[in-house]
């Protein structure tokens, strides 16, 4: 096993992906047509009422049910295993369900196989990585929201040190952390961001303990990229401003919370499912990937400690991002170790965002495993 065989494999793999994408783009020229009356099914990997990621999608599901007046079924706790997910999809399709929404990246590959087997069923894959003539992956440009959160944190910090805890070092998490740090540095380029992975999506005990580890580094703003509220609880106790994620977490830190970066999935799900029903849906070639402009990612109402000046700065940044005059990942952009990622004048493309496996300059933290 050498690095070169690995690189070779990677290149081959990329070629294969590109070929597949081209093929799908060719066949995807026609709009997708649904057979039979629309019946929607959401499949979750854990409980839909998890207070975080799933619950944000669940809010979107409820909006679909209310606004489109279609039957929407829910299944929870289907593990990210091909056998179990496929069985659930088969059951739904057999009973006439023809719009399937899967809610984790771990579903994406088995969903893509099911999409081939059922060309008349529409598949939507949250944080998925596969697309096709009847399948679209969707995610939000959460990094745009995190940039705004970074501005808030940069305004609030006095020690010039802020902290963020996150789950695992995957692309969609890494860009949140990096963008948060860049947002803060847009206020003051000397700000240092401490980033720690808990290496679990789901461990409030550890999240509280990791929060303490970050506070011990003299960080005076604490953000969580996870679903549990225990980190915010720790911040509230320490009297440190905090930032939540996925849902409005102000209930956990009513005094100190600044805002939460939240999903508004209904802004994607309602129009998309409406298109599917109307017969005008054409899946995006590289998946749907909307941001602040469509409101799929947004900030929750500000907490009591946020100044008018900060609010104004955030609003300015928001408008600039929507207008395209600022991109969080515009050049010059350097990695933690100083190597240049983007020269001045350029910016990262979407493929580079998804594959992000590094911290940017200004972050103190450890990538858990090296490529």
Partner 1 sequence: MLDAAFLVRRQQPGLFLSALSYAGGLAFGLAISAMLLVQAGVPASALIDEFLVAAFLTSDGLSQTVTAALPLILVGLASAVAMRVRFWNIGVEGQLWLGAVAATWVALHEIGPESLRLPLAFVLAALAGSGWIAISLVLKQRWGVNEVISSLLLGSVAFLLVQHLLFGIWRDPANSFPVTAAFPQASRFSALGWGQLHAGLFVVALIALAVWFLLERTRAGFYADAVGLNRQAALATGLPVRRTLAGLVLLSGALSGLAGMVVVSGTEHRLNQAVGNGYLFSAIVIAYLARAKPFWVVVVALALGAVFTAGNVLKVFYGISEGMIVLVQGTVLISILMAQFFSTYSLNRPS
Partner 2 sequence: MDFLIGWIAIIPNYATPLVLASLGLIICERAGILNLGAEGLMAVGAMSAAIAVLFGNDPWAALAVGATAAMALAFLFGVATVVLRADQTLSGLAVVAIGLGLTGVVGRPYVQKTFVGIPNLGDIFALERDTTLGRIVAVQDPITLALPVTVGLLWWWLMRSRSGLRLRAVGENPAAADVAGVDVQIVQLGAVLASGLLCGLAGAYLSVATSHVWVEGMVASRGWVAVALVIFARWNPARALVGALVFGSADALVPRLQAVGADIPVYLMMTLPYLLTLLVLVIGSISGRRSGEPAFLGRIYLRQDKH
> Looking at 41, 43, 46, 111, which residue binds partner 2 (CB under 8 A)?
46
Q: CA 113, CA 134: separation in Å to the nearest integer?
A: 11
Helix/strand/coil percent split, the chain, to 5: 40, 20, 40
Residues 251, 226: contact at Cβ < 8 Å?
no
Residue identified by tokens 């947002």 is 183
Output the CA–CA distances (angstroms, integers) from residue 71 to 76, 97, 168, 206, 263, in the order listed.
17, 9, 35, 39, 23
3-class secondary structure, 211: helix
Q: CA 90, CA 92: separation in Å to the nearest integer?
A: 5
Residue 170 has which token pair? 């995957």
DSSP 8-state assignment for residue 100: E
**Residues within window 156-215 making contact with partner 2, judged by CB under 8 A:** 163, 194-200, 202-210, 212-214
Least Å distance, CB 122 to partner 1, is 18
Output the CA–CA distances (angstroms, integers) from residue 18 to 11, 24, 130, 131, in the order listed.
11, 10, 12, 12
Tell me, residue by residue from 171 to 210, as one string, x for binding to partner 1 by CB under 8 A and - for no binding.
Answer: xx-x------------------------x-----------
Residue 249 touches partner 1, criterion: CB under 8 A? no
Residue 5 touches partner 1, criterion: CB under 8 A? yes
Least Å distance, CB 227 to partner 2, is 7
Residues 122, 100: contact at Cβ < 8 Å?
yes
Residue 6 binding: pick among partner 1, partner 2, none (C-beta 5-8 Å cut-off by kind)? partner 1
Least Å distance, CB 181 to partner 2, is 13
Binding piece for partner 2, criterion CB under 8 A, among 93-101, 111-119, 121-129, 223-231: 223-231
Tell me, residue by residue from 103 to 132, as one string, x for binding to partner 1 by CB under 8 A and - for no binding.
Answer: --xx--x-------------------x---
Of the pair 77, 307, the CB lying nearest partner 2 is at 77
Residue 365 touches partner 2, criterion: CB under 8 A? yes
Residue 186 binding: pick among partner 1, partner 2, none (C-beta 5-8 Å cut-off by kind)? none
Residue 252 touches partner 2, criterion: CB under 8 A? yes
Q: What are phi and psi of 288, to 5 degrees?
A: -85, 135
Can you say whether residue 172 is alpha, beta or left, with left for phi > 0 and alpha for psi between -120 and 50 degrees?
alpha
Q: Point out which residues bind partner 1 (CB under 8 A).
A: 1, 5-6, 9-10, 13-14, 17, 46-47, 73-84, 86-88, 90-92, 94-95, 105-106, 109, 129, 168-172, 174, 199, 351, 354-357, 368-371
Q: Point out which residues bind partner 2 (CB under 8 A).
A: 46-47, 49-52, 55, 163, 194-200, 202-210, 212-214, 216-217, 227-230, 232-233, 237, 251-252, 336, 364-366, 368-370
């Amino acid at each position: 096993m050498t690095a070169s065989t690995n690189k070779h494999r990677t290149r081959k793999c990329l070629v294969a992906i590109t070929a597949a994408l081209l093929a799908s783009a060719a066949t995807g020229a026609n709009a997708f047509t649904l057979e039979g009356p629309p019946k929607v099914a959401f499949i979750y990997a854990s409980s839909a009422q998890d207070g975080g990621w799933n619950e944000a999608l669940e809010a979107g599901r409820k909006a679909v049910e209310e606004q489109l007046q279609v039957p929407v079924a829910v299944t929870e706790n289907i593990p990210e295993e091909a056998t179990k997910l496929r069985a659930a999809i088969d059951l739904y399709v057999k009973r006439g369900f023809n719009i399937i929404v899967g809610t984790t990246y771990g579903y994406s590959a088995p969903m893509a196989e099911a999409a081939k087997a059922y060309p008349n069923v529409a598949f939507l894959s949250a944080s998925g990585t596969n697309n096709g003539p009847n399948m679209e992956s969707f995610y939000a440009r959460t990094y745009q929201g995190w940039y705004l959160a970074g501005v808030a944190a940069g305004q609030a910090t006095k020690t010039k040190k802020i902290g963020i805890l996150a789950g695992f070092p995957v692309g969609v998490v890494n860009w949140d952390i990096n963008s948060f740090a860049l947002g803060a540095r847009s206020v003051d380029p000397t700000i240092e961001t401490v980033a720690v992975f808990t290496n679990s999506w789901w461990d409030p005990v550890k999240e509280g303990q990791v929060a303490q580890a970050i506070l011990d580094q003299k960080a005076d703003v604490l953000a969580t990229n996870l679903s549990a509220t225990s980190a915010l609880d720790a911040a509230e106790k320490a009297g440190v401003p905090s930032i939540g994620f996925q849902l409005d977490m102000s209930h956990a830190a009513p005094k100190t919370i600044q805002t939460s970066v939240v999903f508004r999935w209904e802004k994607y799900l309602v129009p998309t499912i409406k298109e599917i029903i109307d017969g005008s849906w054409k899946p995006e070639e590289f998946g749907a990937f909307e941001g602040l402009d469509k409101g799929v990612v947004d900030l929750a109402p500000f907490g009591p400690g946020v100044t008018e000046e900060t609010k104004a700065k955030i609003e300015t940044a928001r408008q600039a991002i929507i207008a395209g005059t600022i991109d969080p990942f515009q050049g010059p952009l350097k990695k933690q170790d100083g190597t240049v990622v983007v020269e001045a004048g350029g910016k990262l493309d979407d493929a580079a965002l998804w594959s992000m496996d590094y911290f940017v300059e200004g972050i103190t933290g450890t990538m858990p495993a090296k490529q």
